[in-house]
Homo-oligomer: A and B are copies of this chain.
């Protein structure tokens, strides 16, 4: 429409280049571009340039606020940095994760941020081998060197159980998520360490559950509540699980915190407004997202092989009514 060669259009629209093009032509091209609502074909550009300005994010459940927050912060960072984010939801299915990782590579994303399902790690090793830039978030593989931004789950679990111990609790239950997952293993480790240190009841039956669903939280809580000696407090590994637990507790006609105290892993905007305002551990999700993005971009934009970075971020503890000190427990403590 401007009567010039595509290469000239490219030079004008892309701006840079030292090749001088007279203002008259520039204007003609720009006008034509605007009139035609011309949008460059990013796939062609990516093909030619070997760079897509796109990064992929793979999470196990986007409908869980935990990952939705992470996704949101990464999205905001990418937008600011001129990258487009492609979010994929694996639904905690390993097969889907492999599919998405391959798919994202196929479409030429410049890098990946992954919160892996952790049923296997072959595809992650492949990434390392291909020297494809990636960052693990929230969950990492302990036997693999890689970029990772995680929170200090072990420390958080330890402190939470310690807090309960100091309130006088002797039997603390642990509602677990899927047990092969990094965060859960760490939390369990912290739990066990505190159980040792404070000499709480050691009983495998107090460790219950294997899944991040509402039902799994519900079932696991019922199991713990029907023990001969149910726990007087629960440490709960996930916000959806927490709701299942609440359902079980209410159904049993019990009261929080009078009959049972609760601490939830992962704080969110509703935590203060639940049936009983929930004491929680909050992960700095926005910060984690930003750090993961910055780290990824550093690797994407550097030509040389940067060393891997692994960062463990401290969590915060929010005390609310679900761990109010209860008379009978205080007595027991003395």
Chain B's closest residue to A275 (CB) is B273
- The yes or no answer to A37 lying at the interface (CB within 8 A) is yes
Compute how far the CA of A79 lies from the CA of B97 in the bound complex, rounded to whole angstroms: 11
- The yes or no answer to A227 lying at the interface (CB within 8 A) is no
- Taking Cβ atoms with an 8 Å cutoff, the residues of A that contact B are 37, 39-44, 46-47, 52, 54, 61-65, 68-69, 71-72, 75-76, 79, 84-89, 91, 96, 99, 102-103, 105-108, 126, 130, 214, 240, 243, 246-247, 269-270, 272-275, 277
For A243, the chain B residues whose CB sits under 8 A away are 269-270, 273
Please tell me how many copies of the chain the complex holds: 2
Chain B's closest residue to A276 (CB) is B275
Asked if B62 and A89 sit within 8 Å, CB to CB, the answer is no
Asked if A126 and B79 sit within 8 Å, CB to CB, the answer is no
Cross-interface CB contact of A214 among B75, B87, B103, B269, cutoff 8 Å: B269
Q: Given the interface contacts A47-B43, A106-B41, A108-B41, does A76 sit within 8 Å of B91 by beta carbon?
A: yes
Most chain B CB neighbours (cut-off 10 Å) among A41, A69, A85 = A41
For A44, the chain B residues whose CB sits under 8 A away are 43, 47
For A85, the chain B residues whose CB sits under 8 A away are 88
Q: Which 8 A-B residue pairs are closest in the complex by CB-CB distance?
A: A43-B43, A42-B107, A42-B106, A63-B72, A63-B68, A87-B87, A75-B89, A39-B106
Beyond the given pairs A63-B69, A75-B88, A86-B87, 17 more chain A to chain B contacts, judged by CB atoms under 8 angstroms and listed by A's residue number, are: A42-B106, A42-B108, A43-B52, A54-B107, A62-B62, A62-B75, A64-B68, A65-B65, A214-B269, A240-B269, A243-B273, A246-B273, A247-B272, A247-B273, A273-B274, A274-B275, A275-B277
Compute how far the CA of A43 lies from the CA of B104 in the bound complex, rounded to whole angstroms: 11
Chain B's closest residue to A61 (CB) is B72
